[in-house]
């Protein structure tokens, strides 16, 4: 066996459990010991092979160990270039910056500055917050429900799970769990109006902020794509009030959503973009790019030892160029649409699949408790094996399934015209689907409210055959958890 043995595999997992922190995350749900990886495939120390749709939490645009990435890394190693350079100029960094600027949305590209940050998305978020505070002289930040921006103090504060907040929280539009109970364009319009009124009401309790930060598709938040019209509204609202708009493209960037940068779907040009994950070609790298007139912070305003990772820059340059030259954003759009279509069949077959949503190759399948009351929210319900009961859902034009009919008064308030009364989240079912996927050799991620959304983030290089294999395994896993398709399916 190339990587080891079943005994070695178990020994490593046992020692990990004994020695590593209680705060460890992925390792708990995914008891695998990767020893080799290529493209979509990971091979474990036990000799098992897995299709990896976690992709380093959305990092691997080209999958594991893509030849162009390996070649770029080898070239730096063989050249004798220094591996650690602080923020000094190097040919490797120069090439990375040139390629990065080449990809930026028009409107930002011509006037862009780049700040190399410490090697994590969260550090780049901190840099963005500092930048807009320095540029505006203001302190407050506008952020959104369900947001995820990282784990350092400022980024955490801007995230939806924050408990100690100095940011003003605004509603992020979403169909299935629309805070206004209507979803669709109407829900997004109401969300935008709330934001506008907060900004313009002198008694809103929210002083003019230093910036607004948002994700064009919330990833950790449960794969929630922002409607393009809403994003344009946020751009117009902030621009008219001289509030810098920070778009966090840490997870959505480099083709993932079907455009090179997710803001391009809406034609929005942000003032600041936060970039990490895929830009390092699987190695750690994080930057912010922003319009030059914001560049008024002093030297050292955002420093850090590890801002010069030459291997990551070389791997990143190769990845950015490969995605651009091979039209992988377009491929993500096309394949993602097909995968979403097939997954929506799954939603029609199983009452425990509440909604299937996504953009490009950022896909989410929300598990709900089919026995739960629509409009209820009980993350503790939804035990495995309770998924197959028929319900009264209707199908929408775009293939989504919905509960309820028409605008009706319920004990819990208004149900929207499209009947937006989602069933309660089902974290137990989502965890069971993740386990069943793993048993079938498929690695998926969980996210969203109560970790009840199964997430797929396959590499943009995934083939049609591999995509079919992924969907087959996921469908089998849902069937196993559901105990069979729902009646009438
Ligand atoms: N922003 C977004 C949108 C993210 O998805 C993440 C990570 N999942 C981060 C920021 C934080 O990045 P990191 O984990 O590298 O600090």
31 and 45 co-located in one domain: yes
Q: How confident is the model at residue 381 (pLDDT cuts 50, 70, 90)?
A: very low
Distance 5 CA to ligand 1 centre (A): 34
pLDDT band at 417 (very low <50, low <70, confident <90, very high): very low
In a domain, 1, yes or no: no
Return the ligand 1 atom nearest residue 249 CA: 3
Q: Give the mean model confidence (pLDDT) for residues 272-300.
A: 98
Q: Please choose, from the candidates 279, 229, 271, the residue with its C-alpha nearest in 3D space to the C-alpha of residue 253.
A: 279
Picking from 296, 325, 354, the residue at the C-terminal end of a domain is 325
Q: Is the CB of 276 under 6 A from ligand 1?
A: yes
Q: Is 248's C-beta closer than 6 angstroms to any atom of ligand 1?
A: yes
Which pLDDT value is given to residue 341? 98
Query: Which of residues 163 and 99 earns the better pLDDT score?
Result: 99
Q: What confidence score (pLDDT) does residue 168 get?
A: 87
Q: What is the pLDDT of residue 4?
A: 62
Q: Output the CA 285–ligand 1 centroid distance in Å.
A: 12
State the DSSP H helix or E strand holding residue 275, giving kind and residue range, or none if neither. strand 272-275
Full DSSP string of 304-338: -S----HHHHHHHHHHHHHHHHTTHHHHHHHHHHH
Residue 377: pLDDT band (50, 70, 90) is low
Q: How far, in Å, CA of 484 to CA of 475, rounded?
A: 11
Query: Quick one: tokens of 218?
Result: 């919330």
* Residues 392, 264 share a domain: no
Q: Report CA 254 to chain centroid distance, whole Å.
A: 12
* Nearest partner of 61 among 276, 270, 357, judged by Cα: 276
| Closest residue by Cα to residue 399 from 434, 353, 332 | 353
Chosen domain end from 325, 348, 364? 325
Q: Does 251 contact ligand 1 (Cβ within 6 A)?
A: yes
Nearest to 219 by CA among 259, 187, 250, 174: 250
**Does residue 89 carry a pLDDT above 80?**
yes
What integer is the mean pLDDT of 357-382? 81
Are the CB atoms for 15 and 8 separated by under 8 Å?
A: no
Looking at the structure, tell me whether residues 240 and 309 fall in a common domain: yes
- How confident is the model over 346-365, as pLDDT tens digits? 999 999 999 999 999 999 99
Query: Atom 7 in ligand 1: which residue has the minimum CA distance?
Result: 150
**43 — pLDDT class (breaks 50, 70, 90):** very high
Query: Last residue of a domain, which of 325, 354, 387?
Result: 325
pTM: 0.91
Residue 405 has what pLDDT? 27
Q: Which pLDDT score, from 0 to 100, does residue 374 have?
A: 83
Distances (CA, A) of 263 to 215, 237, 340, 474: 9, 16, 21, 30
State whether the beta carbon of 322 lies less than 6 angstroms from ligand 1.
Answer: no
Residue 420: per-residue pLDDT: 58
The pairing of beta strand 112-116 with beta strand 287-291: antiparallel
User: Is the distance from the beta carbon of residue 256 to the nearest atom of ligand 1 less than 6 Å?
Assistant: no
Any idea which of 61-70, 86-95, 126-135, 379-388 has the lowest mean pLDDT? 379-388
Report the phi/psi class of residue 150: left, alpha or beta, with left for phi > 0 and alpha for psi in -120 to 50: left
Closest C-alpha among 105, 112, 151 to residue 131: 112
Give the CATH number of the domain where residue 425 resides: 3.90.1150.10
- Span 146-171, mean pLDDT? 86
Query: What domain range includes position 169?
Result: 70-325
Is 222's C-beta closer than 6 angstroms to any atom of ligand 1? no
- 487 in a structural domain: no
* pLDDT digits 0-9 by tens, 471-489: 999 999 999 999 876 554 4
- Asked whether the predicted pLDDT for residue 333 surpasses 70, the reply is yes
Q: Do 273 and 345 fall into the same domain?
A: no
As a whole number, the mean pLDDT across the chain is 90
CB neighbour burial string for 321-336, b if at least 16 within 10 angstroms, e if fewer = bbbbeeebbebbbebb
Note whether 108 and 12 are same-domain residues.
no
Q: Which residue has the higher pLDDT, 374 or 455?
A: 455
Nearest to 196 by CA among 233, 232, 159: 233
Domain of 131: which CATH number? 3.40.640.10
């Amino acid at each position: 066996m190339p990587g080891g043995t079943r005994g070695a595999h178990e020994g490593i997992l046992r020692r990990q459990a004994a020695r590593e922190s209680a705060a460890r995350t992925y390792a708990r749900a995914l008891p695998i010991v990767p020893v080799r990886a290529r493209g979509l495939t990971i091979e474990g120390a036990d000799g098992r092979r897995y299709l990896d749709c976690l992709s380093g939490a959305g990092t691997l645009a080209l999958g594991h160990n893509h030849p162009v990435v390996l070649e770029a890394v080898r070239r730096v190693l063989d050249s004798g270039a220094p591996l650690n350079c602080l923020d000094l100029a190097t040919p490797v960094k120069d090439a990375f910056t040139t390629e990065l600027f080449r990809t930026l949305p028009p409107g930002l590209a011509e006037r862009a500055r780049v700040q190399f940050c410490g090697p994590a998305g969260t550090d780049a978020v901190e840099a963005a917050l500092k930048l807009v505070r320095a540029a505006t002289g203001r302190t407050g930040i506008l952020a959104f429900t369900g947001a995820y921006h990282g784990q350092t103090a400022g980024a955490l504060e801007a995230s939806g799970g924050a408990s100690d907040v100095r940011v003003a929280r605004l509603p992020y539009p979403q169909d299935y769990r629309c805070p206004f109970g209507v979803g669709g364009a109407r829900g997004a319009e109401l969300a935008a109006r709330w934001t506008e009124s907060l900004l313009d009401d002198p008694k809103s309790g929210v002083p003019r902020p230093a910036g607004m930060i948002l994700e064009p598709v919330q990833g950790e938040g449960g794969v929630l794509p922002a409607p393009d019209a809403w994003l344009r509204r946020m751009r117009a609202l902030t621009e008219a009030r001289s509030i810098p708009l920070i778009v966090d493209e840490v997870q959505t960037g480099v083709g993932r959503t079907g455009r090179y940068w997710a803001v391009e779907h809406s034609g929005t040009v942000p003032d600041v973009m936060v970039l990490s994950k895929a830009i390092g070609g699987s190695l750690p790298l994080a930057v912010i790019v922003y319009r030059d007139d914001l560049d008024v912070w002093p030297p050292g305003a955002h420093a850090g030892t590890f801002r010069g990772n030459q291997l990551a820059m070389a791997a990143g340059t190769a990845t950015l160029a490969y995605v651009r030259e091979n039209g992988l954003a377009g491929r993500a759009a096309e394949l993602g649409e097909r995968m979403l279509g097939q997954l929506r069949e799954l939603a029609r077959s199983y009452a425990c699949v509440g909604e299937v949503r996504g953009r490009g190759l950022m896909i989410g399948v929300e598990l709900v408790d089919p026995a739960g009351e629509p409009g209820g929210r009980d993350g503790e319900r939804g035990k495995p094996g309770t998924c197959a009961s028929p319900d009264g859902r209707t199908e929408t034009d775009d293939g989504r399934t919905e509960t309820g009919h028409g605008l009706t008064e319920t004990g819990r308030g208004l149900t929207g015209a499209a009947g937006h009364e989602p069933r309660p989240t089902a974290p137990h079912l989502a965890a069971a689907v993740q386990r069943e996927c793993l048993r079938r050799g498929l690695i998926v991620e969980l996210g969203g409210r109560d970790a009840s959304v199964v997430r797929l983030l396959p590499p943009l290089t995934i083939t049609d055959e591999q995509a079919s294999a992924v969907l087959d395994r996921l469908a089998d896993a849902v069937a196993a958890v559901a105990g069979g398709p729902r009646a009438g399916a």
